[in-house]
Structure 1
Amino acid sequence: MSASIAMRPAVRSPRAWLRGILVAAVGAAAVATGPSPATAQPVGYVNFLDITPANANAELAGGLDPRLPTDPAVLGTALASARVDHVPPVRYAALLHQYWLALGAMATGIDLASWDPNAGFAANATLVDRVYANYGRYQRERAELNWAGMAGMAGASFAAGFWDLDGGRTALTVDAVHRLGTAVGSAVEALPAEAAALLPDDVRALATLGPATTAADLDWYQQRLLIMQKHIYFDMVPMHEAYLRAGRPAIDELRAAGVLDANAASAWRGIFSGTVEGRADATRRMADREQNEIVADQWDATASGRGGIGRVLSYVTTVAAQPSIPGTRSPGVVAPLSVVGAVGGATYRLQAPLPDFNWADRGPRWSYIGGDTVPAYARLVQDRPAEAYALLALPFVDFMDQQRVLRRMPALARDLGTGWSLTREP
């Protein structure tokens, strides 16, 4: 810029001057963390207003909507202009959401534009691990972000499940599901018919459909989990990334835009309180949001899909779950199967080494997470913070590998075929 031009600020209105400063500042900040200065040219924001995201449920490739860029530099420039022009936040809600999502994806090491859960696990393997490692990063950097730490630590068992399910491309995991189904089926066949009829539908379906599960079934189920993982990321990462980079004002803007509802806003107030009670309430509220708002419908669709296979595979993963948070119990320990009914004219109790719920179902899933996982993590970070942070500091791939169910499959199949009892009630 020449000296003569630099000396003429008065020819610009104060509003235009402020817009230029903010656009330059936000654009520069985004470029500092973005792909290339060449992509950070000033853009208008009008085309980014009043967008109802077409991919809000994260079931397609890319970001929230194809009309929105995925480059955080471009998004940041447009967002700065909208703010300077005092556009109501609710009108640029999708732009704001996508901006923080894009920054989070970049920090995670994910190419938002090409992220496609429908491409299967092979195309998303590295991404799966990075998602959960990123959650752990949030709490390592800000101790008050307990939900993120819990998600990162619990994610090790879910990521291990992804890797285990990928064995469906060989005979290994298909054989493992067959072995579980056969073990349960053998135990069921040994029961009197009236006693077997007392068993929940999921157990009987595992016994009948489990041995016939195919690699294509496992691929389908894995794709459903990939979609839900991405959906949770779409919801949780923008607010956490915003808080990490810009603090409470960024959360307030997300709330003003309608990106956060009253429950999420209450969770953040708990975090802002700086109290143990506030953090605990925030963790519970965010877990409730994740399970009962974000992926509840997708779990329902998964459970009802593929002619009963959805329920079988969701029950298999419930049975095989090995929680990775110290102090968290497995589903079969929290809620062991025990049913009472008439057998041969008398009342009997049938007990089995299986969980009495399927975590594809909303109520039981929340009872398990809210009643066991959330309190266990709260105890861990409160009573043994050094242990919690040591686990969060482990390379995620190494921590996840310890949770692989295939390492436990022979013993698990053996245990599921034994431990059944049928006793007469007094």
Structure 2
Amino acid sequence: MPSAVHCRSPWVRNTTIRAVLVALFGVAALATPASLLAHAAGYEGLLDITPANAAAESIGGLDPRLPTESAVLGAALAAARSDGVAPKRYSALLQQYWLARGSEASGIDLAAWDPNAGLIANAAVVDRVYENYGRYQLQRAELYWSGMAGLAGGSFAAGFWDLDLGRTVLGVDAVHTLGNAVASTVRGLPGEAMALLPADPRTLATVGPAMTAEDVDWYQKRLLMMQKHIYFDMVPMHEAYLNEGRAAVEEMAAAGLLDENAEIAWNGIFSGTQAGYADALFRMASREQNQIIADQWDVTAAARDGVGRALTYATTLAAQPSVPGSRAPGQVVPMAVDCDVNGSAYRLRTPLPGFNWADREPRWQYIVSDIASSYQRLAEVRPGELRALLAIPFRDFVESQRVLRRVPDLARDMSTGWELSPAHP
């Protein structure tokens, strides 16, 4: 009857509407206010993301599903917060937001950042990464790790250019020179002593002289990946702190982006004490070296049938950290081996470093005992000198750290600093 159509109760009408909503959107629509549905469109597809580019080995940001513009990311993040979304669900969005903020402040195009493009394409990015670390330290004196990264980046970036193949093949020639210097000395050792020489100098002596441009280009790209990986991890938390303070860092912790070690480090910074700042320096350095890029160093050193090992050792040998007071690896941990020559005990002393930077434990011990300790003293005792160093235009600072100018002297030292003498009880 017609009256049956026009006399439905409100309950019947609501039931019909709810049935349609269930059919279209599922059960969740029953409990979702209209305002929440409107907000959700702002972060749709941006929750519960496990970043595909977390190790920073590909072009762009953390994941291709995430925008790279901070304004877009910020709007999505604000909507998720407003709707009470659990921080762990928007962790990738949060990290990418602060990463984008830091990149924009640094002058880095996050979407176009591609370590696989090589050094020439990334030349400006390399500099801006370390300039940005220095910016954090200059603006907030308590951020020791970032200042150390900015200073140490001078020698790291200089090493990039010393290996550069885009302008010259001197990078390859330098490796050849060091390899030949070690090889010529090794050939002059008694057989017993040569047999006991650790594998790294023997690999450099055999593989170094035959190094190719392609080998060095590959190694540069591996270093560029590690540089980007550290930036992906460290910049979001520092940029968040610089702009919004403790609450922003605590949100990152709530999102699961900081482990216990990182939380303790930031609590040290929040303490407002030099002891807290120093503790944060060492904890953040440990995070960088022992968590973020440790696996990438392992892969690099093991690659290309000895080439990776030879190149990581060559750069250890040539290293001269740019943190005032720090010493070269060969000075801190010189290589010495005991051997038996014709029935008598001898000790072979060398000018070579007794470790390879690619190896986790000795790398960390060197950083703790020398580079980080030197930086702590600089920050605490000579802050004016530190600020002056960080204020130097980065390109000028890098040029002052170039190892290539020292290659002839290094080669001479590699040839003359050897001593085989009777071992003393």
Structure 1-normalised TM-score? 0.90
Q: How does 1:4-153 map to 2 (within 5 A)?
A: 44-153=42-151
Distance, in Å, in 2 between the alignment partners of 1:70 and 1:167 is 31
Query: CA shift at 1:82, angstroms?
Result: 0.3
Partner of 1:343: 341
Please list the CA deviations of residues 51-97 of structure 1 after superposition, one character each: whole Å capped at 9, or x if unmatched: 00000000110000000000110000000000000100000000000
Distance, in Å, in 2 between the alignment partners of 1:357 and 1:292 is 16
Partner of 1:176: 174
Determine if the alignment matches structure 1 residue 268 to structure 2 residue 246. Answer: no
Q: Secondary structure at the match of 2:336?
A: strand
Query: CA shift at 1:167, angstroms?
Result: 3.8
Distance, in Å, in 2 between the alignment partners of 1:169 and 1:391 is 28
Q: Secondary structure at the match of 1:342?
A: strand
Partner of 1:418: 416
Please list the CA deviations of residues 206-225 of structure 1 after superposition, one character each: whole Å capped at 9, or x if unmatched: 11111000111000000000
Identity across the alignment (%): 66
Residue 19 of structure 1 contacts residue 84 of structure 1 at CA under 8 Å; is this kept in 2? no
Partner of 1:363: 361
Q: Secondary structure at the match of 2:306?
A: helix
Judged with a 3 Å threshold, the aligned counterparts in structure 2 of structure 1 residues 16 and 244 are, in CA distance, closer, same or farther, namely: farther
Distance, in Å, in 2 between the alignment partners of 1:82 and 1:409 is 55
Judged with a 3 Å threshold, the aligned counterparts in structure 2 of structure 1 residues 102 and 199 are, in CA distance, closer, same or farther, namely: same
Query: CA shift at 1:148, angstroms?
Result: 0.2
Distance, in Å, in 2 between the alignment partners of 1:320 and 1:145 is 29
Query: CA shift at 1:18, angstroms?
Result: 11
* Higher Cα Rg, which structure: 2
Residue 393 (structure 2) aligned to one of 392, 395, 398: 395
Partner of 1:159: 157
Partner of 2:23: none
Query: CA shift at 1:169, angstroms?
Result: 5.8
Residue 19 of structure 1 contacts residue 81 of structure 1 at CA under 8 Å; is this kept in 2? no
Query: CA shift at 1:19, angstroms?
Result: 12
Residue 189 (structure 1) aligned to one of 174, 179, 187: 187
Structure 2 spans left out of the alignment, 5+ residues: 1-32
Judged with a 3 Å threshold, the aligned counterparts in structure 2 of structure 1 residues 369 and 16 are, in CA distance, closer, same or farther, namely: farther
Determine if the alignment matches structure 1 residue 218 to structure 2 residue 216. Answer: yes
Please list the CA deviations of residues 288-310 of structure 1 after superposition, one character each: whole Å capped at 9, or x if unmatched: 00000000000000000011100
2:216 aligned partner, one-letter code: L
1:407 aligned partner, one-letter code: R
Structure 1 spans left out of the alignment, 5+ residues: 1-14, 24-41
Q: Secondary structure at the match of 2:108?
A: coil
Query: CA shift at 1:43, angstroms?
Result: 5.4
Residue 162 of structure 2 contacts residue 170 of structure 2 at CA under 8 Å; is this kept in 1? no
Partner of 1:28: none
Residue 93 of structure 1 contacts residue 257 of structure 1 at CA under 8 Å; is this kept in 2? yes
Please list the CA deviations of residues 111-153 of structure 1 after superposition, one character each: whole Å capped at 9, or x if unmatched: 1001000111111011001100100000000000000000000
Distance, in Å, in 1 between the alignment partners of 2:210 and 2:341 is 30
Residue 120 of structure 2 contacts residue 166 of structure 2 at CA under 8 Å; is this kept in 1? no
Please list the CA deviations of residues 328-367 of structure 1 after superposition, one character each: whole Å capped at 9, or x if unmatched: 0110000001111212111110011010000100001000
Distance, in Å, in 1 between the alignment partners of 2:127 and 2:67 is 25
Q: Secondary structure at the match of 2:122?
A: helix
2:249 aligned partner, one-letter code: I
State the 4+ residue runs in structure 1 displaced beyond 6 angstroms.
15-20
When the two chains are superposed, the root-mean-square deviation of aligned CA atoms in Å is 1.6
Q: Secondary structure at the match of 1:354?
A: strand
Residue 117 of structure 1 contacts residue 223 of structure 1 at CA under 8 Å; is this kept in 2? yes
Query: CA shift at 1:17, angstroms?
Result: 9.0
Distance, in Å, in 2 between the alignment partners of 1:425 and 1:184 is 23
Residue 313 (structure 2) aligned to one of 306, 312, 315: 315
Matched length: 392
1:365 aligned partner, one-letter code: R
Distance, in Å, in 2 between the alignment partners of 1:253 and 1:102 is 17
1:144 aligned partner, one-letter code: E
Q: Secondary structure at the match of 1:247?
A: helix
Partner of 1:234: 232
Structure 2-normalised TM-score? 0.90
Q: Secondary structure at the match of 2:45?
A: helix
Query: CA shift at 1:168, angstroms?
Result: 6.9
Distance, in Å, in 1 between the alignment partners of 2:247 and 2:65 is 27
Query: CA shift at 1:174, angstroms?
Result: 1.1
Determine if the alignment matches structure 1 residue 283 to structure 2 residue 277. Answer: no
